Amino acid sequence: MAHVRPLVEGDIPAVAALHATVFGGGGGRDPQTLRAHLTEVFCRHPWHDGKFPSLAYEAAGGEIVGVLGVMRRPMSLNGRPIQVAISHDFMVDPRSRSTLAAMELLRVFLAGSQDLSLADGTASSRKIWEAFGGTTSLLHSIRWTRALRPSRCVVDVMRKRGLPAAMAVAARPWCAVLDAVAARSSWTPFHQPVPRASREDVTAERLLACLSDFSRNRSLRPEYDERSVQWLLEILGRWRSSGSFRKVLVRDVRGDVLGWYLYYLRPGGVGEVVQIGATHDSIGEVLAHLFFDAWRRGALAVSGQLDPAFMEALSEQHCLFDSGAFWTLLNSNDLEVLEAIYRGDAFLTRLEGEGWIRLAC
């Protein structure tokens, strides 16, 4: 009889095969590397706990036809420890009775002992999630994008909408001139002044201290240790399908820490931001440093998930906002937890959700 059971490390070869079926391969990884990555993300991450296992849907014949990854993430609410479960790599073999498998996996996940369930979902999975009593954080579902080379960005959008490739190539020299003028002219919103702040690479020890110090003013905040931070940085920097991973600490002229940013740089494309940390007073300088760093290294734009606390600063930096492809899905019986998220009083970035896993794959 088909049923949902805890996923164990011995299931990883079947999970890798399902991943290849659903997602069309391993994002450029060879099979052995993909299996090693899935083993770490499913079974050997720093928060692995038998009380919060990943889930497998096993068909009557013993074949795994559905998987829902579960990653425990400790957090605190006004100093009170809470357990958060992040769902990831939710996949069902399209050749099976996918609706039943998906519903059963999600039902078992949401029935777990966690205080808060988090997921990134498409419009269709959002409907299923809400049918089980979950909700959607509309603010955290917003994506922001800052154009760095606006002319090239426009041509790229037109290319995706049918502009012939030859015309796009012919326009590039003109775009390069227009974008150079925009970056160097202080009267344009795309001006890129050299930042006064300095930069250095973020170490796990420094990032841990920053995560603790800069999230103290949020009611809901993640709880990290050096091992978990080091593991995350290693995973994020290991695979370059999303671009080269940059981790930057920003200091003012006195040497004081203003904040940090983690993002994937993609020259000629859109850089994907994993996390930004700053105070209300320093976020403007940190954003300006990020945009200059990405522009200087050839990115057309940078984009990320909205932190509601920084919405004003992002708007002042001429960012555009849209709903994006994924919704931030929540489920909790603790109204205090949900209220903290809804009012933007939670430190929730891609690093605390499923977003970093998609980018690292």
Q: What is the pLDDT of residues 35-53, one digit of tens each?
A: 999 999 999 999 998 899 9
Q: Residue 26: its pLDDT value, please?
A: 52
Query: Cβ distance 179 to 152 under 8 Å?
Result: yes
* CA–CA dist 335, 223 (Å, integer): 20
- Domains in the chain (CATH in brackets) are 3-114 (3.40.630.30), 143-148+192-323 (3.40.630.30)
pLDDT value at residue 361: 66
Q: Give percent of the chain above pLDDT 90.
A: 72
CB-facing half-sphere around the CA of 347: CA atoms within 13 A:
27
* Closest C-alpha to 199, from 254, 164, 141, 250: 250
- Please give the model's pTM, rounded to 2 decimal places: 0.92
Q: What are the backbone angles phi and psi of residue 76, rounded to the nearest 5°?
A: -135, 150
- At 96-135, the pLDDT tens digits run 766 788 899 999 999 999 999 999 998 888 998 999 999 9
pLDDT of residue 28: 56
**CB 142, CB 323: distance < 8 Å:** yes
The overall average pLDDT reported for the chain is 92
